[in-house]
Structure 1
Amino acid sequence: MSAVQNAWLGHYEISSTTCAGLQFARHSHDECVIGVNLVGEEKIWLDRREFYAGPGSITLYNPGQIQGGGAADGVPWHFVSLYATANQLAADLGLAHLEFDRSLCFEPDLAQRLATTIKGASSPDTLVRDLNEETLVLLLGEVVNLSGVRLPGSAKAGKALINHAQQMLAAHLHQSLTLDHLGAELGFSKFHLLRAFQKETGLTPREWAMQLRTRRAKGLLRQGVSPSQAAHDLGFSDQSHLSRHFRAAYGITPGHYQNAVKR
């Protein structure tokens, strides 16, 4: 018996599978497939060879590669998978072409971070899912480097370009700008945009937008705007959504803050 959860995170299809023994017949995919093994050992058949992937392993399959295998009957197995077209993944990472040179990497820390981020796609909070998408793009850069693919160096963004990105984010707080939009505006791939923005500000674009969103909420609350109206004006799905992020930032709910600063 197995439990499978599927979702989308940006352009990536992701899944989490928990089972006790599961076998896959020999098959292939149109997409690149990245798997993270968390519990149990998988026996893999790939292009006429066999190998094993235990906990902490990251497996990488190119489109069209014939693969198969699985865990032995009754053996607990938990893994997460990501599916992305080679063209999409290449574009997101600033590559003209993408083909994995290695099929197996043992990197427990990266595997755990990747799995945690993939699972974050199931969050009911849209803004949290957006933050997970940014993290995922950065982690995929690490994975692709490990696979033997060299990522191109990025041109220096400079403060002027990052300031422009910040102005765009600030002007659209009520409707979160996509990484595709920001990248196209600045002339960067998603990966290089994230690295440049993070290097300049210490935050990813959506993390930066979130701190500005909560800061502006604080200002509106001081002016007497209700928490529900502030949430609506700043792109939160509802008041409880604002409350979660406001409390995380300031240690107090919007309502308690507003009562504390009343004159």
Structure 2
Amino acid sequence: MASGRHDGREGEWARHWQYPGVPGLDLLRARYVRHSFTRHSHEGYVLGAVRRGVEDVVMPEGTIRARPGTVVMINPEVPHSAHAGVPEGWSYATLYPSAALVASIAREETTLRGTVGFAETIVEDEDTAQLVRAVHRAAEEGNALAADSLLRVAVARLLRRHGRPMPRREPLAAGARTAALARELLQQRMAEPPSLEQLAAELATSPFALLRAFKAAYGMPPHTWLTNARVRTARRLLESGTAPAAAAVTVGFTDQPHLNRHFTRIVGVPPGAYQRERARTYKTGQAPGA
């Protein structure tokens, strides 16, 4: 298997890529031992199947232990982190289908309407775990028909068994409105963000009140959210061909090593490896060799 990262750390490796045969899908296959994912969230969904070892996934409601035979399902924008649950680490296959892709499958294959999500975070489901891994194998073999078919079967099955309509958004309370305004300001001024005190003053609130409101709304403090947002923006810049060093400065990191550290702890591979996979996939239209 081509490796997006291979640093010799007790056999750790990872590959994060896109397969053009299945638009709207990112794939990560990896073995991690000492690597840990810092608190972050995704714009789309996460569907993970551990093959060996144990992954501890820290969710807002507590830590879940992902073992072989389980499927982890994380809804968009839900903050989480992860690390090895046993000394030997874990190896797994993860699918990151976009919100639009999951919505289209839900409309076609289920009775769920509106914005859909998963009611459980982890389920015992060996058959679907095998399907998740099979999507990876098909993509790595360049079999678009199989990869697309297996993905749709896996997502439809999980939605029928564990899906639910997400609650409608209620009008924002005062604290949530303040948090939303703070998020907009941080997004706009990503490269040179204000301090917590400055941000609170601009929003006519106190630093601790803003901190509490932001954590209640987004599950993480403003500085953690900002790092996540910077990495998301850096991903888009890397995909468009921007060099990692330039991307780092654009999003507000001090230098490329600063970007490398945060990018790897959120995405699972360094920015250079991430960009190489994207360039290879898009320029050739072929799946990189497995």
Per the normalisation by structure 1, the TM-score is 0.51
Question: Which residue does 1:100 correspond to in 2?
Answer: 118
Give the whole-Å Cα distance in 1 for the aligned partners of 2:117 and 2:149.
Answer: 22
Give the whole-Å Cα distance in 2 for the aligned partners of 1:73 and 1:57.
Answer: 16
* Candidates 137, 142, 147, aligned match of 2:162: 147
- Give identity over the alignment, percent: 18
* Candidates 97, 119, 128, aligned match of 1:110: 128
Q: Is the 8 A contact 2:116 2:163 kept in 1?
A: no
Question: Which residue does 2:274 correspond to in 1?
Answer: none
Q: Deviations over 1:28-48 (max 9, x none)?
A: 111111111111111121014
Q: Deviations over 1:208-236 (max 9, x none)?
A: xxxxxxxxxxxxxxxxxxxxxxxxxxxxx
Q: CA deviation at 1:7?
A: 2.7
- Choose 73-82 or 35-44, whichever is displaced more: 73-82
Q: CA deviation at 1:77?
A: 1.3
Question: Which residue does 1:208 correspond to in 2?
Answer: none
Letter of the structure 1 residue corresponding to residue 114 of structure 2:
A
Q: Is the 8 A contact 2:46 2:96 kept in 1?
A: yes
Structure 2 residue 56 is the aligned partner of structure 1 residue 19: no
Q: Which runs of 5+ in 2 are unaligned?
A: 1-8, 108-112, 166-290
Q: Is the 8 A contact 1:16 1:119 kept in 2?
A: no
Any idea what SS the aligned residue of 2:148 has? Answer: helix
* Candidates 7, 22, 29, aligned match of 2:42: 29
Any idea what SS the aligned residue of 1:39 has? Answer: strand
Question: Which residue does 1:50 correspond to in 2?
Answer: 63
Question: Which residue does 1:133 correspond to in 2?
Answer: 148
The alpha-carbon distance between structure 1 residues 7 and 74, as it changes in their structure 2 partners (threshold 3 A), is farther
Q: CA deviation at 1:15?
A: 1.5
Letter of the structure 2 residue corresponding to residue 4 of structure 1:
A
Q: Is the 8 A contact 1:103 1:147 kept in 2?
A: no
Q: Deviations over 1:59-78 (max 9, x none)?
A: 11111111012114741411
The alpha-carbon distance between structure 1 residues 73 and 142, as it changes in their structure 2 partners (threshold 3 A), is closer
Any idea what SS the aligned residue of 1:30 has? Answer: coil
Corresponding residue pairs, total = 147
Letter of the structure 1 residue corresponding to residue 132 of structure 2:
L
The alpha-carbon distance between structure 1 residues 108 and 120, as it changes in their structure 2 partners (threshold 3 A), is same
Q: Deviations over 1:5-40 (max 9, x none)?
A: 223233211111123343111111111111111111
Q: Is the 8 A contact 2:55 2:89 kept in 1?
A: no
Question: Which residue does 1:38 correspond to in 2?
Answer: 51
Q: Which runs of 5+ in 1 are unaligned?
A: 151-263
Give the whole-Å Cα distance in 2 for the aligned partners of 1:110 and 1:48.
Answer: 24
More strand by share: 1
Question: Which residue does 1:121 correspond to in 2?
Answer: 139
Give the whole-Å Cα distance in 2 for the aligned partners of 1:3 and 1:77.
Answer: 11
Structure 2 residue 14 is the aligned partner of structure 1 residue 4: yes
Per the normalisation by structure 2, the TM-score is 0.47
Letter of the structure 2 residue corresponding to residue 30 of structure 1:
E
Question: Which residue does 2:267 correspond to in 1?
Answer: none
Which protein has the larger Cα radius of gyration, Structure 1 or Structure 2?
1
Question: Which residue does 2:100 correspond to in 1?
Answer: 87
Any idea what SS the aligned residue of 1:141 has? Answer: helix
Any idea what SS the aligned residue of 2:68 has? Answer: coil
Q: CA deviation at 1:109?
A: 2.1
Letter of the structure 1 residue corresponding to residue 118 of structure 2:
F
User: What are the residue-to-residue correspondences of 1:209-224 with 2, within 5 Å?
Assistant: none
Structure of higher RCO (CA pairs closer than 8 Å, 6+ residues apart): 2
Q: Is the 8 A contact 2:43 2:77 kept in 1?
A: yes
Give the whole-Å Cα distance in 1 for the aligned partners of 2:52 and 2:86.
Answer: 14
Q: Is the 8 A contact 2:105 2:156 kept in 1?
A: no
Letter of the structure 2 residue corresponding to residue 131 of structure 1:
A
Structure 2 residue 48 is the aligned partner of structure 1 residue 60: no
**Superposition RMSD in Å:** 2.0
Q: Deviations over 1:84-142 (max 9, x none)?
A: 22232111331432111110111112201221222321114xxx222221121112111
